[in-house]
Amino acid sequence: MKVKKISLVVVLLLAIFITNDVVVQADDHKHEDKKHEKYKEYKDYYKDHDDDDDDEEYYDDDEKEGETYYFQDAVTTKGTWNIWTRTVAVDKEVLPFTGSQKVTLKVEDTNKELSFFVIPKDGEFFVPGKAVAEVLGAKATFYKESKILDIQKRGNELIYRAGTNVVYDNSVKTPSPAQAFYVNEELYLPISTITNGLGYIAEWQESNQTFVCQPITN
């Protein structure tokens, strides 16, 4: 009789354990599904906006990682590393330095600072997008699976994706001077697109190896 009681207790304990495990796993899958839905939302953002009539002059295929997109009737003759003209430059000015190095970025109106490694590439200075956006006072969300960075500040929104030279600037498909790329778990962006896009212009100070960001005044 005692053996039967012990067996019954063991069976009940096992049933409770298995039931709880199933519930936990089900909840985990539910959270994963929500995250993937969010990633898919930003992946589909690019495709959805390609169908808009206002974007007919732009490259109308899906933006795929590793491809360069060409924008008709949007070419300038000279590009500057710290000015985002929102057009495509066929020629670029020489950068103040050409090797990757640790620098400081200082925001003049808030006195906030950030140190990071800058990567000169394709005639542009590439900076870690999420970290720079946050020091400039923006909210930045990086979707690692889709490699998409969503930046928002005071009603303005910038959306970048690794391997493309496309920026969605307040829902407008806009050319970036070079492709964003993913390295060391960061999405690196041309400094002009993120500073100008958030209302600043960066100047290089050789003496203290610092990018000084000043608000753009109209």
Residue 30 scores a pLDDT above 60: no
75-215 belongs to CATH 3.30.457.10: yes
Round to whole Å and give the CA distance between 116 and 104.
Answer: 7
- Coil, strand, or helix at residue 170? coil
Distance CA 116, CA 69 (A): 29
Report the C-alpha gap between 136 and 195 in whole angstroms. Answer: 8
Q: What is the mean pLDDT of the chain?
A: 78
Residue 92 DSSP one-character state:
B
- Domain spans of the chain? 75-215
Which residues are CB-contacts of 145 (< 8 A; sequence separation ≥ 6)?
35, 36, 39
Given a contact cutoff of 8 angstroms between Cβ atoms, the answer to whether 42 and 144 are in contact is no
Percent of the chain with pLDDT over 70: 64
- Please, which pLDDT band fits residue 44 given cuts at 50, 70 and 90? low
Q: What is the DSSP letter of 85?
A: -
For the ranges 44-58, 70-84, 140-154, the lowest mean pLDDT is seen at 44-58
Residue type, 189: L
Residue 28 pLDDT level (bands cut at 50, 70, 90): very low
**Those residues with Cβ within 8 angstroms of residue 95's Cβ, 6 or more apart along the chain or in another chain:** 81, 120, 123, 124, 125
pLDDT at 190 (0 to 100): 98
Mean pLDDT over residues 52-56, rounded?
34
